[in-house]
Amino acid sequence: MSIFTKPTTEKGLMRNDAPPPEAGLSVIASGMKIVGDIESTGVVKIEGVVEGAVRGARQLLLGRQGTVHGDIRAHEVVIGGTVVGTIIAEERVEIQGTSSVQGDIHTKSIVVLEGGVINGTVRMGEAVPQEAARELGDAITDSPVRPGLALSQ
């Protein structure tokens, strides 16, 4: 038997037997603009501009120069820039001193640092994010913005 061959009794891994890939970090850099919705299961860091919803992220990090014109749904959200839309965080929202939120926030826990601006309602509690997610889900499916479509002015 050669050292480079497999014994015939050993079963090779099938493509479907591979463990699922772990979600990584997605970065929208400064100077970059995304028009359309973003769906991710990992960490999304936004330093540029997003015109559309951001959904499903484990963590969303919005930098000081970052802007989101759309709704955000994530496990944890840290805002340092500008959001115009609803934020739904299953666990926690952090509003940093450089941030501005023009919309409602639904979460279990919130931290607002001095200088952070919220123009909207803040709802906290265990059941609120699920109710808000249903409402947001309906609004997103009715939205005229679709992934891959550009908005004209």
CA distances 51 to 59, 68, 73, 140, 152, Å, are: 18, 6, 14, 13, 12
- Tens of pLDDT, residue by residue over 77-115, are 999 999 999 999 999 999 999 999 999 999 999 999 999
Per-residue confidence (pLDDT) for residue 136, from 0 to 100: 53
Contact by Cβ (8 Å): 38, 60: no
Which residue ranges of the chain lie beneath pLDDT 50? 13, 139-153
Q: Which residues pair with 118 in a beta bridge?
A: 101
pTM: 0.71
Give the integer Cα–Cα distance in Å for 55 and 60: 9
